[in-house]
Structure formats: C-alpha cells, structure tokens
Structure 1
C-alpha cells in the first residue's frame, strides 16, 4: 500500500479534546453546559445507533444531551411543535433531526423550522445561503469534516482539480462550495456524467459520495491523488457476515492514491466531531 491513511478517528478525538477544554472555559461564565437536542422518529436500528454514538460523544466533551424519541406515527405538526419548543429553550444550543424520517413526514419542511443559529447540522437554507455568500455560519457537518481532515494533513487544495462524485445537498453541493472557497477548481460528477472514469482520473482530489459500495476503483484514480471516501455501505460476504465498506474499493485504490480515508474510521467520526463543533460554536455566541 502506498497511500497515507487520513485518520478521521484520531482527528475527531483531538477535536473532542479541544471542545472539552473550550467548554470548561466557557461554562463558569455561562452557568450551564452547551445543549444538543437530537430528535428521532421511529425505530430505525441504524438511526438508533447513530443517535447513541452522538450522545456518547456529547457526554465525553461535556455537552448536555436532550434526546427526544418519537413513535413512528408522530405527525408533522407534533414534530414542528417539538422543534419550536427547542428553538425557545435557552438550554439548547443545537438541534438535529435524525434522518431518514418515516415517509409520511416532510423532512425539508421540518429542517426549515429549526432556528438557523441552532442548526447543528448546517442544513437550514439560511446557513446554506451564508455558505454560498462566503459569510460566517454553521456549516454542514460532513463537508466541514472533510475540509478539516484535509487541513489537518496539510493537503493544499489551492489550484487543484477536485472532483466530487455525488450532488446531494448533504455532501456534494456544500463541499463543492467549501472547496471553491479554498481556491480549488471543482467539478461535480453524478450518475449522468459521461466518461466518468476519465473525469475522475484527471482529479488531484477525489471525493466519493455515491452510496454505491466500492464504486470507484484504482482505474479511475490518478497516481498520488487524494481520495476521500464519504460512503458507508453495509455489505455481506460469502458467509453472510455483514461489514461496512465505502464507495471506494479501498484495497485497489490504496496502491495508487497518495492519501486515502478508510471506512470505517475516516469521514464518519469527523461528521460527529463537526456536529459537536457546531453546537459549541452556537453556545459560545449566545448571551446566556
């Protein structure tokens, strides 16, 4: 293997230690710890695991968790009321609606009910607008985590060709804007892109966010490129045992790339770390 591993797990632990120290400085002034409310609807096992992971991370750094678990049949109006209550609660600095939601609920409308200054996930239209305009604001967690990972490993993106495979509002679009702001030259590729392998092979930086296991292989990677794998896919081997893999074929790409994120242990921990960062940022800017 030639690629240097971009260790998101280690960096996330470092960030959590920094946040813990920041909270310990601020809490005596404010008289309370920062608070994060995670709203979850239904019994999706993956969502429940994600929520537990976030609550444990909060506990490690000193953030109070205000978890709210709603039954699957909860109505849109009931959830909107819960979000409005969190908006008004001075002990809550960040609000997160755990996705995906049951099909009868409108996730976009719910996310828009969160006050932009408590938008821990950085997905409110106001915060996305601030990103477009280059103004300060809460940033979408996964793209912000990718940028922080590149910064930690002193990977210079100025003038580099970056290709993002995936155009979601969660990752592809906000990450493109962040890379542009850092003076990279950005291409967003997707399922309709012609000659995708050629497009990707020209990139100095490749970000895979397709949701397709092992979709990107060594053939598509320029030697020495930086490869960031955002995908998390559960697959079964011949024995029926499940494991997590990314959107990148790690074993083949590791022999070509200069830098590579693992799955798990790459972007995933960084997403949680930036969620905590956003919560503490909101906390530091409140008057109480």
Structure 2
C-alpha cells in the first residue's frame, strides 16, 4: 500500500505520453508476487503536479495490493480515494469491513415439500386465492382499458402544455402592443387587462392631438410673425457634411425601440433587427438625398 511511482495501464496517466516500458516493470512485479489491486472507489487519479493549462499532469501511482491470503481473510477490503484539495496527492481510506447490507435472495428448496408442515402451507395458499381474485376484480379487472384512459389523460396534459406555450407567446405580443400604444415605461406583466392602461392609451391619443395643436401655435407663430436667428457657419457645415451608414446606425441605436414610428409605420426596433439587410438601401437613399 502506498506510492509505487509507477503505472500499470495506459489509462493511468493524462497530460503526458505513456510508453510500454513505463507499464512493464510494475506489471511484472505484481505478476511475480501474485498481487492484485483491491477494490477502489472515488478518484481515479491519485496525484497531479498542480500546474496550469496544458502543463497539468494527472496520474495513478498510489495503489493497495493484496495476495490470496489477505483476500481470504478480508474479502471486503476497499480503498477510497478522496479529493486532493490543496495537496498533490489524494488522501486514501482503507476499509476492511463491508458497508453493504444486501439481503440474500429468496430461494425455494425442493426438500421443503417432504416436511409435514408443507400441507398447512399449501392450504393457506388456497385460502388466499379467493381474496386475490376479489382484489383483481376490484382494481385490475381491465388493465388494457385503464392503460388507454391513462394514455388519453397524458395526451391531454401534453396538449395543455402546448396551449399554455401558445398563450404565453400571444400574451407577450399583447404586452408589447400595449407598451408601444400606451407609451409608458412602467408597464409590467399582469397589468394589461386593467382599466388604467386602456385609459392610458386613450389619454395618450388625446394628449397627442392637444400637443399637436399647441405645438403649431407656439412654434410656428413666432417664425411666421418675425425673423428668427440665422444659421452659423458651423451649422451650415454640419448640414452639408457627408453622412455614412455608420452615422445612421449610431443614431438608430440611440432611439428607444418603443418610440412612436414615423409615417412608414415601422418603428426603430424593426430597423435595428433588420439593419444588416437594409443598410445598403439606406446608404443609397442618403447618397441620393444629399
């Protein structure tokens, strides 16, 4: 028992090559001494070099060997290898007591029939035959029909899950629609059916109409009635500079996805997710306009 600093199998090391002459001496020694390895549980590799990345090497160099005399005296010997933790070697616990309390299987021996008590056993078996028949009629009389019923119930459950998933998708779509229509940033799931948010949608439409009328009066009257400020040279240069697709993409990213769409009824979210497809058309349109 201990560190033999040798391996006996090609599977006993990873991280560095294994050659046949690394295996032969240890196997030859075990064969000559008629030794075998006891049962092992836990970690397979018992040592590693604690290096990082591809330099890490794992190997199995610790073993517990036994001969036939030991196996006869301690047939349940077991070696448990624990995680190494901060050490390079894995701790090992050797146990010679079996922890398995397996029950022996039942066997019927033919010699039992020669006993005088065998008649009483068979008589009791006849007595319980009637009770078993009653049990079969009450709960197991038509197992095929019961199987079909359970199969139908299982199918209904599966369809219910599919329907629930379809409902979830439809509900998410409704939430998205209400979010964009109501133009509120605090809409949460579960509130879509309340009067508050339907009233918010109506209020938004009314506000838009009032806001448009007020904007026309406050914004355009001063412009029409008097001369406003003139553009500076810097403003003129900004208006006449060349625009690129990257400029448009940067501005598009800054627009919230749920903002009100333009006259083409497509909002910024649509253009964001389709940008790779339509950006060349945007480039051509910008070049033609400017």
Q: What range describes the TM-score normalised by the shorter chain of this pair?
A: under 0.3
The structure in which a higher percent of residues are helix is 2
The structure with more strand, counted as a fraction of residues: 1
Q: Give the structure-2-normalised TM-score.
A: 0.17
Return the index of the structure with the highest Cα Rg: 2
TM-score, structure 1 normalization = 0.17
- Structure showing greater relative contact order (alpha-carbon pairs closer than 8 Å, 6 or more residues apart): 1
